[in-house]
RNA sequence: GCGCCCGUAGCUCAACCGGAUAGAGCAACGGCCUUCUAAGCCGUAGGUUACAGGUUCGAGUCCUGUCGGGCGCGCCA
């Protein structure tokens, strides 16, 4: 609808330019918005106010000239000038209901577009460190990222979904060492488990399995080991334990490492798949070292003169590119930092032929953006091709108290626990409902015990109700015809017009949500559509009416069902036929 | 101290990137089931959009400052 308005008003402005009323004004885009009040028509444009100054006349002078110049057409019933210079557009009654036929034809594809056609996007999200199960904080990124990928796909982009597995670095050593220590306990050693090793029960389970498969081959005397270590400061003690683990397990250290890593990555993958979130690729950080890509990335920057050796430490001069200070890429001991592998990773992404790379990061990583962009720019890439979307943390509340979480302490509510309690659909809808950069309070008691209050059920209920009407129709042997001939004459209730307008707005809603990376807009749209339907349901009878009216109303609610289903599918939740 | 995000009804959040009278849900109050699912509908009440300036036809939205909250400011990942 807006497209045809766009065409009509562009033509009007062109007419005004050629007739000399407007002088050499180039208008790129005219904005139309759906009106809130009925007396303002169906759409309104502010174009007269926008152009008034440049046209050298007041909006109220210009507006009538614009409306007079709009070409003859059968879409617009009436144009009115109102307020400070708005042009209110009243759409022809019959045209309003054309959308029902379009929905019938396009069915599952209604709402999709090709605006992103030919462009490939790499979308990286979740990417939680494989050091424990996903918790509810990760769930938000998972739901947000997955819905975003669906939206981008719906508007024509080719989306490649990727999970970056941080399987290198000290955290992995801590994980392997934690497994080994639990293994020692499993084979009979008695000692207090270090507070800064990973505490979770899943480590104990892994250690138990290792004991079954390899016996006590890697047992050491914990008393003599810990006597010396206990005197050290915590983090140094942990390093000493890592060394001890490597020494005790010798060539099989890798086995402890692998069992820890694989168990956790598999667990994360299963968890996400259960949540309806899948990835095209699980990209290993270690592979960047294996391919020498990290070294090559640092070398390349050095060759360009952006790496400086200061007392044996290599610094990337990121401050040359807007970062607040320079960053270490290779430590004095020769080990590359996390930034070094991340630079290599992003260069790898950029060179795989994507038009854009989108990262969904936790908001705590925001300070990291300038240095990664600096590295891309220094390497000769366009940093604007990297889009970082930040997701604020979800604060958890239980019994009115904020729950503090940390991975190492093992005290967190897992995503799996949340899914078991409230169900995938409710969890996904709940997460996606909030704008990503908005801080979010996740009340566990509310989500778990009062799931009926979740707006998801309201939307799903609308869908189920429509299905029920059609079920009733067939049970009662009612013959109906959903063809749209003469439809508009039979639908004249306010709510019917509002529904038609809402249904017609769906494609644009998807476009806006995708363009702005704001899936939450879709949840609000669906709620509003459901509200209109429920109102319709309560005010009008669909089956026990005269057959022609029945056909028209059934065609209307069938279109509603289609759009509700399309929208819910994009969010990744079910559209149930019964509730 | 510096940087990023945020501040909207009692609570949780919207507001179509500057538009007309700031909207929903929950909580509160009052109505609606012998007829298609009451997980629903209708109505009432609830606001100086943290505060103070500025930009313009017009500001919750943009700019400056103040206050308040979250996060970041490692040779951790």
Q: Are residues A87 and A10 in the same domain?
A: yes
pLDDT for position A554:
96
Whole-model pTM? 0.92
Specify the 3-state DSSP secondary structure of A33.
strand
Strand B contact residues in chain A (324-353), C-beta within 7 Å = 324, 327-328, 331-333, 335, 337-338
Q: On chain B, which bases lie within 7 A of the protein's CB atoms?
A: 2-7, 12-17, 19-21, 23-27, 35-42, 57-58, 69-77
Contact by Cβ (8 Å): A235, A98: no
Q: Which two tokens stand for residue A398?
A: 């239980």
Residues A550 and A466 in one domain: yes
Above pLDDT 90, what percent of chain A? 60
Spatial distance from the CA of A319 to the C1' of B1 (Å):
20
Q: Verify if strand B has an atom below 7 Å from the CB of A439.
A: yes
Question: Is the pLDDT assigned to residue A274 strictly greater than 90?
Answer: yes
A269: phi then psi, degrees, rounded to nearest 5: -65, -45
pLDDT at A399: 65
* CB contact at 8 A, A425 and A571: no
The spacing between the Cα labelled CA in A455 and the C1' in B28, in angstroms, equals 20
Alpha-carbon span A508 to A512, nearest angstrom: 6
Residue of higher predicted confidence among A174 and A393: A174
Q: Which nucleotide, over all strands, has the C1' atom closest to the CA of A395?
A: B70
Q: Pick from A91, A116, A136: which residue ends a domain? A: A91
Scanning every strand, the nucleotide with its C1' closest to A36's CA turns out to be B20
Q: Assess whether pLDDT exceeds 90 at residue A185.
A: yes
Tell me, yes or no, whether A190 and A247 share the same domain: yes
Q: How many domains does chain A have?
A: 4
**Nearest nucleotide by C1' position to the A578 CA atom:** B37
Instruction: Kindly state whether residues A482 and A536 are assigned to the same domain.
Output: yes
Q: Which nucleotide is nearest to A129 (CA to C1')?
A: B77
What is the DSSP-derived secondary structure letter of residue A71?
A: P
Q: What is the mean pLDDT of residues A564-576?
A: 96
Kindly report, residue by residue over A480-509, the tens digit of the pLDDT: 999 888 888 999 888 999 999 999 999 999
- What's the Å distance between residue A566 CA and nucleotide B77 C1'? 39
Same domain flag for A363 and A255: no
In a domain, A380, yes or no: yes
ipTM for the predicted complex comes to 0.94
pLDDT for residue A102: 96
Provide the CA A119 to C1' B23 distance, Å, integer: 36
Between CA A486 and CA A97 the distance in angstroms is: 10
Query: Two tokens at A534?
Result: 């429920």
- A476 plus A542 within the same structural domain: yes
Residue A443, H or E segment? strand A440-443
Confidence of residue A213 (pLDDT cuts 50, 70, 90): confident
Distance in Å from B7's C1' to A402's CA comes to 19
Question: Would you say residue A32 lies in a domain?
Answer: yes
Strand B–CB A86 distance below 7 A: yes
> Is A199 inside any structural domain?
yes
Read off the tokens for A39.
């007396």
- The answer to whether the C-beta of A434 is closer than 7 A to strand B is yes
A527 CA vs B61 C1’ separation (Å): 24
Distance from C-alpha of A543 to C-alpha of A540, rounded to nearest angstrom: 9
Last residue of a domain, one of A31, A56, A91: A91
The model's pLDDT over A339-385, given as tens digits with 9 standing for 90+, comes to 999 999 999 999 999 999 999 998 888 889 999 999 999 999 999 99
- With a cut of 50, say whether residue A261 has pLDDT above it: yes
Residues A84 and A188 occupy one common structural domain: no
Of A164 and A232, more confident: A164
**pLDDT for res A411:** 55
Lowest mean pLDDT among A384-393, A501-510, A534-543: A384-393
| Residue A256 falls inside a structural domain | yes
Q: What is the mean pLDDT of residues A135-158?
A: 93
Segment holding A282, helix H or strand E: strand A281-284
| A119 CB below 7 A from strand B atoms | no
Average pLDDT on A163-187 reads 91
Distance, Å, A502 CA → B3 C1': 42
What CATH number corresponds to the domain at position A503?
1.10.730.10
Instruction: Give yes or no: residues A338 and A257 share one domain.
Output: no
pLDDT score for A405: 58
pLDDT 10s digits, A292-320: 999 999 999 999 999 999 999 999 999 99
Q: Of the candidates A376, A391, A406, which is a domain's last residue? A: A391
Q: For residues A240 and A230, what is the distance between their CA atoms, to the nearest angstrom? A: 10
Residue range A167-183: mean pLDDT, rounded? 90
Residues 6+ apart with CB under 8 A from A346: A357, A372, A375, A376, A386
Domain enclosing residue A328, as ranges: 291-391
In this structure, of A11-15, A71-75, A404-408, the range with the lowest mean pLDDT score is A404-408
Cβ count near A227 (within 10 Å): 10
Is residue A392 pLDDT above 90, yes or no? no
A84, part of any domain: yes
Let me know: does A275 contact A157? Beta carbons within 8 Å: no
* Protein residue at shortest CA distance from C1' of B58: A84
User: Does residue A17 or residue A164 have the better pLDDT?
Assistant: A164
Which pLDDT score, from 0 to 100, does residue A403 have? Answer: 67
Based on the domain organization, do A302 and A367 belong to the same domain? yes
Q: Is the CB of A541 under 7 A from strand B?
A: yes
DSSP secondary structure, A289-330, as one string: HHTTHHHHHHHHHHHTT-EEEETTEEEE-GGGGT-SS-EEEE
- Given 3-state DSSP classes, what are the helix, strand and coil percentages for chain A, each rounded to the nearest 5? 55, 15, 30
Nearest 5°: the CA angle A557, A529, A157 is 100
SS in 3 state form for A371-427? HHHHHHHHCCCCHHHEEEEEECCEEEEECCEEECCECCCCECCEHHHHHHHHCHHHH
Residue A416: inside a domain: no
Determine the pLDDT at residue A297: 96
Mean pLDDT of A158-182: 92
d(CA A167, CA A131): 9
pLDDT, averaged across chain A: 89
Q: A75 pLDDT band (50/70/90 cuts)?
A: very high
Q: What is the CATH number of the domain that holds A361?
A: 3.40.50.620
A226's CB contacts (< 8 A; 6+ apart) are A191
Identify the residue with better confidence: A348 or A214.
Answer: A348
pLDDT at A409 over 60: no
Does residue A281 fall inside a structural domain?
no
CATH number at residue A38: 3.30.1360.70
Q: Nucleic chain B: which protein residues 457-516 of A have CB below 7 A from it?
A: 457-458, 461, 464-465, 467-469, 471-472, 512, 516
Shared-domain flag, residues A317 and A237: no
In terms of domains, do A304 and A241 share one?
no
- Percentage of chain A with pLDDT > 70? 95
CA of A443 to C1' of B27 (A): 15
Nearest nucleotide over every DNA/RNA strand to the A311 CA, judged by C1' = B75
Is the pLDDT at A410 greater than 50? The verdict is no
- The answer to the question of residue A326 being in a domain is yes
Q: Which range has highest mean pLDDT (A50-59, A248-257, A355-364, A558-567)?
A: A558-567
Output DSSP code: residue A109: G
Other Cβ atoms within 10 Å of A463 Cβ, number:
25
Distance, angstroms, CA A445 to C1' B60? 31
Q: Which of residues 49-68 of A touch strand B (CB under 7 A)?
A: 49-50, 52-53, 59
Q: Name the more confident of A473 and A231.
A: A473
The angle, 0 to 180 degrees and rounded to 10, between the axes of the packed helices A338-350 and A369-378 is 60
**Cβ neighbours of residue A528 closer than 8 Å, sequence gap 6 or more:** A502
**Domain co-membership, A518 together with A553:** yes
A54 pLDDT tier (thresholds 50, 70, 90): confident
Q: Protein A195 CA to nucleic acid B29 C1', in Å?
A: 54
Neighbours of A29 (CB within 10 A): 8
Distance, in Å, from the CA atom of A149 to the CA atom of A154, rounded to the nearest integer, reads 8
CB-CB contact of A327 with A370 (8 Å): no
| CA atom of A483 to C1′ atom of B36, Å | 21
> Which residues from the 390-419 window of protein chain A have CB within 7 angstroms of nucleic acid chain B?
390, 392-393
User: Tens of pLDDT along A439-483?
Assistant: 777 777 766 655 666 788 899 999 999 999 999 999 999 999 998
Is pLDDT larger for residue A437 or for residue A64? A64
């Amino acid at each position: 609808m807006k497209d045809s308005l766009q065409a009509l008003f562009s033509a009007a402005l062109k007419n005004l330019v050629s007739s000399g009323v407007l002088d050499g004004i180039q208008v790129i885009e005219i904005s139309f918005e759906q009106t809130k009040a009925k007396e303002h028509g169906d759409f309104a444009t502010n174009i007269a106010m926008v152009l008034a100054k440049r046209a050298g006349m007041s909006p109220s002078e210009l507006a009538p000239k614009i409306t007079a110049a709009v070409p003859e057409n059968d879409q617009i019933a009436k144009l009115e000038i109102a307020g400070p210079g708005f042009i209110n557009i009243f759409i022809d009654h019959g045209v309003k209901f054309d959308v029902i036929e379009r929905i019938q034809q396009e069915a599952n594809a209604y709402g999709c577009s090709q605006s992103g056609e030919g462009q490939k996007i790499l979308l990286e999200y979740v990417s939680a460190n494989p050091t424990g199960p996903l918790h509810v904080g990760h769930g938000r990124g998972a739901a947000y990222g997955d819905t975003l990928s669906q939206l981008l796909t719906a508007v024509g982009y080719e989306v490649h979904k990727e999970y970056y597995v941080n399987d290198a670095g000290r955290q992995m050593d801590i994980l392997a060492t934690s497994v080994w220590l639990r293994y020692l306990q499993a084979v009979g050693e008695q000692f207090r488990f270090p507070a800064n090793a990973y505490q979770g029960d899943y480590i104990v389970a892994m250690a138990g399995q290792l004991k079954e498969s390899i016996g006590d081959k890697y047992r050491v005397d914990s008393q003599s080991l810990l006597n010396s270590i206990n005197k050290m400061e915590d983090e140094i003690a942990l390093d000493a334990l890592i060394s001890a683990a490597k020494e005790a397990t010798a060539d099989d250290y890798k086995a402890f490492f692998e069992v820890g890593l694989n168990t956790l990555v598999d667990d994360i993958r299963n968890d996400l798949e259960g949540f309806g979130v899948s990835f095209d690729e699980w990209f290993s950080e270690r592979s960047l070292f294996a391919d020498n890509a990290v070294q090559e990335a640092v070398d390349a920057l050095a060759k360009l003169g952006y790496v400086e050796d200061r007392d044996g430490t290599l610094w990337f001069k990121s401050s040359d590119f807007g970062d607040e200070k320079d960053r270490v890429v290779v430590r004095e001991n020769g080990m590359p930092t996390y930034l070094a592998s991340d630079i290599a990773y992003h260069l790898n992404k950029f060179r795989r032929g994507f038009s854009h790379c989108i990262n969904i990061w936790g908001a705590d990583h925001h300070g990291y953006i300038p240095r990664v962009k600096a590295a891309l720019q220094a390497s000769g890439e366009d940093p604007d091709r990297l889009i970082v979307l930040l997701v604020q943390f979800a604060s958890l509340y239980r019994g009115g108290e904020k729950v503090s979480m940390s991975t190492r302490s093992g005290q967190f509510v897992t995503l799996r626990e949340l899914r078991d309690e409230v169900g995938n659909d409710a969890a996904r809808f709940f997460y996606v409902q909030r704008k990503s950069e908005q801080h979010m309070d996740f009340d566990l008691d509310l989500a778990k015990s009062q799931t009926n209050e979740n707006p998801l059920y309201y939307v799903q209920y609308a869908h189920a109700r429509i299905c029920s009407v059609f079920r009733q129709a067939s049970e009662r042997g009612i013959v109906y015809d959903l063809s749209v001939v003469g439809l508009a004459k039979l639908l004249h209730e306010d709510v019917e017009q509002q529904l038609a307008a809402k249904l017609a707005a769906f494609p644009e809603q998807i476009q806006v949500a995708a363009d702005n990376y704001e899936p939450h807009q879709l949840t609000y749209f669906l709620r509003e559509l459901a509200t209109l339907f429920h109102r319709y349901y309560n005010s009008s009878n669909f089956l026990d009416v005269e057959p022609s009216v029945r056909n028209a109303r059934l065609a209307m609610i069938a279109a509603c069902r289609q759009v509700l289903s399309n929208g819910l599918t994009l969010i990744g939740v079910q559209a149930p036929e019964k509730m």
